[in-house]
Structure 1
Amino acid sequence: MTDGESSLEIGVALHRIANALERLSPVPSESADIGTGPAFHWTGKTIEAIDSFAPIALDMLTGIDDQKARLLENSKRLAGGFAAHDVLLWGSRGMGKSALAKSVVRELNMAGSDIAMVEANADMLENLPGLFATLGKTDRAFILFIDDIGFEEGSAAPRLMRSMLEGGAAARPANVRLYVTSNRRHIVPRQMAEQDDPINPRDVVDDKLALSDRFGLRLGFHAASQDDYLAMIDRYAEAYGLVYESEDALLWTRQRGSRSGRVAWQYIVELAGRAGKSIS
């Protein structure tokens, strides 16, 4: 090996060490004050306050009463400094997974509990140890919220998340719990090439499925029935003083090929627009 090649290898190694230390270091001081405020966003290096955090009122969410009760109870425990679960919210799109997580924070803040949400993108898992180091030094409860998580084939992210959930070197502190949403109960790609691998394919699949088992609380959200869909619209229409016909509401959902809380809300926006009203 030449001196040039040796220097290059040393440079690469130092660069990797520097990146690792950066991920483990506390969040820079220019981050927002996380001691106050209901919601923040993790950029990968700093924490920014979310000024427009205005979730829908918890009692406006319809058709998911069991999920509401269980998530609210778990979050109350966390806010009170008691043992609480990491949570996986999984299931159909548009059925209120992320809305519920945010509305629970709003509900608890209005009740006087000191708890905040920190949103992070799913591609920032490697940077979370630095965030945990900062959140763990603050005397308040935090929900670290990762929306619509998914992993590419060959990604090391599932193992990193398991380490966080199991109490490994990258584990979250006691005042922080992970709330994660996914469209599938088992957080795996739709197509797993490993299933075609003749060498222990079942072990590979089991390794991936094991991630969802690490969440102490798993809440399923299923496609809305027609009755649930109309109940959602009833609740919204009552709150905003709107009048509608059931057949018109059903036509709206047939045109979109699905029934969900999101589709119900879109119909309410349409109704308000027809009536010349503004809603928030």
Structure 2
Amino acid sequence: MTRVKECVLYRGFEYGDILDKMTALMDASEKSAVNASEMEEEFYECVNGLIEIAGSYGFTGNLWHDYLTLLLVNHENAFSTASEIRGAIEGSINQLALHDFAIFKELYDFDLTVLDKLFHTSCCGILCNYEAPQDTGKMFNKRIRDRICEMSKTLAVAKDTEEFMADMVQFYKDFGVGKLGLHKAFRIDHDENGRAVIVPVTRIAHVRLDDLVGYEIPKQKLIENTEAFVRGRKANNCLLFGDAGTGKSSSIKGILNQYYDEGLRIIEVYKHQFVDLNQVIAQIKDRNYKFIIYMDDLSFEEFEIEYKYLKAVIEGGLERKPENILIYATSNRRHLVRERAGDKLEVGADDDIHSSDTVQEKLSLVYRFGVRIYFGAPDRKEFHTIVKTLAKRNGITMPEDQLLLEAGKWEISHGGLTGRTAQQFIDHLLGKEETQEA
């Protein structure tokens, strides 16, 4: 089992200390004479580590296999990143991968209960058939956790190394590798050295575009641009602008969920993080995914200059923006940057003597978004349609006249005629129903 140190591609794992200790224990179990008491502490540390990982990720079943699978699906190397999205590749690297997978197959095939006999415990028997408490696991969402648990079962029954490798390649093709492959959405954080790092968002709303009632023309424009992007055709940066509560952000989430399986990923960025954009782009430009850098509720006051950083990143630097990256933004302002009336008045004593240049500089940012989509507030008839549709979806059986009357009262004091107001009204009704049932 010490052959794990001979791996060529799969090295330097996160949580790799458990792997090192476990392989040492496996080696000890194969010796005719071994002092188990000298290795008890390492054994229980491994058991504890596997249970803690199961708690963090929500794993069930054979925790040893789940752990090994976690290592494989998270490890970004020359083979795994080449296989993501594209599947099987050609070249000598396949022989090196086969070498490493042969070592891992030995780890999967090892009967963990042998260690129970060595240390006179029942721990490993429990680890092999582990039942996790409900609603555990904060590192992955349920969808990803289930994929890893299912993959661990598939790898455990692979009849040989070639089948084991084929299963891994198929997983990389279907779901990707590492955090960028397994997760849909990300945000920016910083490490201890101040460098920008991409961090997965594990809890996101599973919004579908069909959930957004109305706005068929704006949604279609967004679909056409995004579909062109994920399928390798020319596409534009996109600005969704218009009234608050009209579904701009929900449309972006819906697009992500619709095209995730085709390799679409999204990274949310705030204004104060624009200085990190070049570092972020450097980390994703060579991956086999399509990335949307997403800026929600984007706008700038006249004294803010962050928009100049954004202009340079979108278009204007020496290095061309990678083809696997687009920028999508939502805003309540059509031109993003607040304009003063003085920008367009005659030059006065305190005015900018090049006022037209000032206006053009502010407008040049919005011009860098090749697709600009307007989301307007619905009129009363459209608002009623939204309310009725949402009520039907949620099983609300209130008579239509009463429903619309109550919706009218609600919107007057809760933000006016918007899709968000309609959804809040429906949530209010559902909350009242639950209270009455209780």
TM-score by length of 2: 0.53
- Residue identity matched to 2:366: S
Q: Describe the superposition over 1:256-275 as per-residue Cα deviations: whole angstroms up to 9, x where unpaired.
A: 25111111110011010111
1:67 aligns with 2:218: yes
| In structure 1, distance between residues paired with 2:339 and 2:357 | 17
- Structure 1 residues 170 and 97 mapped into 2: Cα distance closer, same or farther (>3 Å)? farther
Bigger relative CO (Cα 8 Å, ≥ 6 apart) = 1
Residue 61 of structure 1: how far off its partner (Å): 0.5
Residue 157 of structure 1: how far off its partner (Å): 2.1
| Structure 2: gaps spanning 5 or more residues | 1-177, 191-195, 345-349
Q: Report the structure, 1 or 2, having the larger helix content.
A: 2
Question: Among residues 266, 271, 278, which one is paired with 2:424 in the alignment?
Answer: 266
Name the count of aligned residue pairs: 244
| In structure 2, distance between residues paired with 1:239 and 1:57 | 14
Could you say what the CA RMSD is over the residues aligned between the two structures, in angstroms?
1.9
4+ residue runs over 3 A deviation: 169-172, 190-196
In terms of Rg, which structure is larger? 2
1:35 is paired with a residue whose SS is helix
Question: Among residues 251, 268, 273, which one is paired with 1:100 in the alignment?
Answer: 251
2:322 is paired with a residue whose SS is coil
Question: Among residues 97, 105, 117, which one is paired with 2:266 in the alignment?
Answer: 117
| In structure 2, distance between residues paired with 1:87 and 1:172 | 15
| In structure 2, distance between residues paired with 1:125 and 1:198 | 27
Q: Describe the superposition over 1:84-116 as per-residue Cα deviations: whole angstroms up to 9, x where unpaired.
A: 11001111001011110111111123xx31111
Q: Describe the superposition over 1:96-154 as per-residue Cα deviations: whole angstroms up to 9, x where unpaired.
A: 11110111111123xx3111111111221111000001110211101110011122334
Question: Among residues 24, 29, 47, which one is paired with 2:198 in the alignment?
Answer: 47
Question: Among residues 179, 190, 197, which one is paired with 2:328 in the alignment?
Answer: 179
**Identity of paired residues, percent?**
30
Residue 167 of structure 1: how far off its partner (Å): 4.5
- Structure 1 residues 228 and 150 mapped into 2: Cα distance closer, same or farther (>3 Å)? same
Does the CA-based 8 Å contact 1:232-1:261 persist in structure 2?
Answer: yes
| In structure 1, distance between residues paired with 2:341 and 2:329 | 21
Instruction: Report the more deviating stretch, 55-64 or 139-148.
Output: 55-64
Q: Describe the superposition over 1:220-244 as per-residue Cα deviations: whole angstroms up to 9, x where unpaired.
A: 1111111121121222212111134
Does the CA-based 8 Å contact 1:90-1:185 persist in structure 2?
Answer: yes
Residue 187 of structure 1: how far off its partner (Å): 1.2
Residue in 1 aligned with 2:279?
130
Residue 171 of structure 1: how far off its partner (Å): 5.2
| In structure 2, distance between residues paired with 1:37 and 1:172 | 23
